[in-house]
Amino acid sequence: MAVELISFNLGLNWVTQLYEKLQHIKKKRSKELNMINDIMFGDPLELAKYYVEPNCQETNPADRHEEDFLVSSEPVYKKIDEFLRAKFLEQPGNNQMFILSDAGMGKTSLLVMLKLLNLSSFWPKNTACLLKAFGTKTLAEIQLIEDKMKTILLIDALDEDSETYGQVKERLLEILKATKNFYRVIITCRTQFFPEVEKSPFDRPGLITVGGYVCPAKYLSLFNDEKVELYLKKRFTGKILNFEHKKKIKKANELIGQMGSLRCRPMLLSYIDKLMDSPIIQAEQSEYKIYKALVDSWLCREEAKSGVSKNELFRVCEILAKEISLKGVREISEADLDLLIDDIAELKYVKAIDIKGRSLLNRNSGGDYRFSHHSIQEFLVTKHLIENPGLNLGKKLPMTNLIAQMLIANSKFKACQKFFDFDNKIFKNLNIRVPEISEEDLKNTDIKGVDLKGAALRGICLDGANLKGADLQAANLQGISLKGAILDEVNLLGANLQDAILRGASFTKADLSWADLKRANLQGARLNGADLQGAILHGANLLDANLQGAILDKADFQGARLDVHSLPEANLQGAILQGLDFRGVELKGADLGGTDLRGADIRGANFQGAGFQGTDLSWADLQDADFRGADFQGARFEGAELSRANLRDADLSGAKNISVEMLFDVKSLCRVKGLDPKIEAELKKRKPTLFDD
Does residue 505 form part of some domain? no
What per-residue confidence (pLDDT) applies to 613? 93
Would you call 265 exposed, middle or buried from its count of C-beta atoms within 10 A (0-12, 13-18, 19+)? Answer: buried
Distances (CA, A) of 172 to 96, 134, 192, 328: 12, 12, 14, 18
Does residue 205 form part of some domain? yes
What per-residue confidence (pLDDT) applies to 428? 53
pLDDT band at 566; cut points 50, 70, 90:
low
pLDDT band at 356; cut points 50, 70, 90:
confident
What per-residue confidence (pLDDT) applies to 2? 41
Query: Stretch 555-564: mean pLDDT, rounded?
Result: 78
Same domain? 136 vs 58? yes
Does residue 616 form part of some domain? no
Query: Stretch 421-447: mean pLDDT, rounded?
Result: 59
Query: Stretch 290-312: mean pLDDT, rounded?
Result: 90
The candidate with the shortest Cα–Cα distance to 116, out of 86, 160, 154, 142, is 154
Same domain? 372 vs 339? yes
Phi, psi values for residue 228, rounded to 5°: -60, -45
Same domain? 111 vs 201? yes
What per-residue confidence (pLDDT) applies to 444? 77
Query: Stretch 30-39: mean pLDDT, rounded?
Result: 88
Same domain? 113 vs 96? yes
What per-residue confidence (pLDDT) applies to 3? 44
**Cα separation of 172 and 266, whole Å?**
27
Average pLDDT of the chain is 85
Query: Contact at 8 Å (CB) between 8 and 123?
Result: yes
Does residue 465 form part of some domain? no
Q: In terms of pLDDT, which residue wins out, 263 or 326?
A: 326
**Cα separation of 475 and 490, whole Å?**
12
Q: 5 pLDDT exceeds 60? A: no
* Winning range, highest mean pLDDT, from 121-130, 461-470, 511-520: 511-520
Does residue 587 form part of some domain? no
Does residue 271 form part of some domain? no
Q: 288 pLDDT exceeds 90? A: no
Same domain? 161 vs 308? no
Does residue 365 form part of some domain? yes
Query: Stretch 230-253: mean pLDDT, rounded?
Result: 77
Distances (CA, A) of 176 to 60, 80, 152, 186, 227: 22, 18, 14, 11, 34
Helical packing angle, 287-306 and 310-326, nearest 10°:
120
Same domain? 201 vs 234? no
Q: Give me the residues paired with residue 626 across strands.
A: 606, 646
Same domain? 124 vs 202? yes
What per-residue confidence (pLDDT) applies to 373? 86
What per-residue confidence (pLDDT) applies to 145? 93
What per-residue confidence (pLDDT) applies to 67? 41
Number of domains in the chain: 3
Q: 27 pLDDT exceeds 60? A: yes
Q: 7 pLDDT exceeds 80? A: no
**Cα separation of 564 and 561, whole Å?**
9
CATH number at residue 198: 3.40.50
Query: Stretch 351-358: mean pLDDT, rounded?
Result: 81
Query: Stretch 118-137: mean pLDDT, rounded?
Result: 84
Query: Stretch 88-116: mean pLDDT, rounded?
Result: 90
Phi, psi values for residue 370, rounded to 5°: -160, 140
Query: Stretch 122-148: mean pLDDT, rounded?
Result: 86
Q: Which among 186, 202, 220 is the end of a domain?
A: 220
The residues near 542 (Cβ < 8 Å, ≥ 6 apart) are: 522, 523, 525, 557, 560, 561, 562, 563, 566
Q: Which among 379, 398, 417 is the end of a domain?
A: 379
Q: Give me the residues paired with residue 362 across strands.
A: 370
Q: How many helices (H) and strands (E) does the chain have?
A: 19, 15
Q: What percent of the chain stands above pLDDT 90?
A: 45
What per-residue confidence (pLDDT) applies to 285? 64
What per-residue confidence (pLDDT) applies to 588? 82
Same domain? 107 vs 176? yes
Condensed to tens digits (0 to 9), the pLDDT of residues 149-158 reads 999 999 998 8
- 586: DSSP letter: B
Write down the pTM of the prediction. Answer: 0.64
Element holding 139 (H helix, E strand): helix 138-143
pLDDT band at 1; cut points 50, 70, 90:
very low
Condensed to tens digits (0 to 9), the pLDDT of residues 500-517 reads 999 999 999 999 999 999
Same domain? 229 vs 161? no
Same domain? 201 vs 62? yes
* Winning range, highest mean pLDDT, from 233-237, 457-461, 657-661: 657-661
Of 48-57, 292-301, 660-669, the one with minimum mean pLDDT is 292-301
What per-residue confidence (pLDDT) applies to 434? 45
Q: Which among 351, 379, 407 is the end of a domain?
A: 379
Same domain? 112 vs 26? yes
The candidate with the shortest Cα–Cα distance to 286, out of 388, 491, 436, is 436
* Residue 29, domain extent: 14-220
Does residue 69 form part of some domain? yes
Distances (CA, A) of 277 to 170, 248, 380: 46, 11, 20
Same domain? 63 vs 152? yes
- 192 three-class SS: helix
**Cα separation of 4 and 78, whole Å?**
18
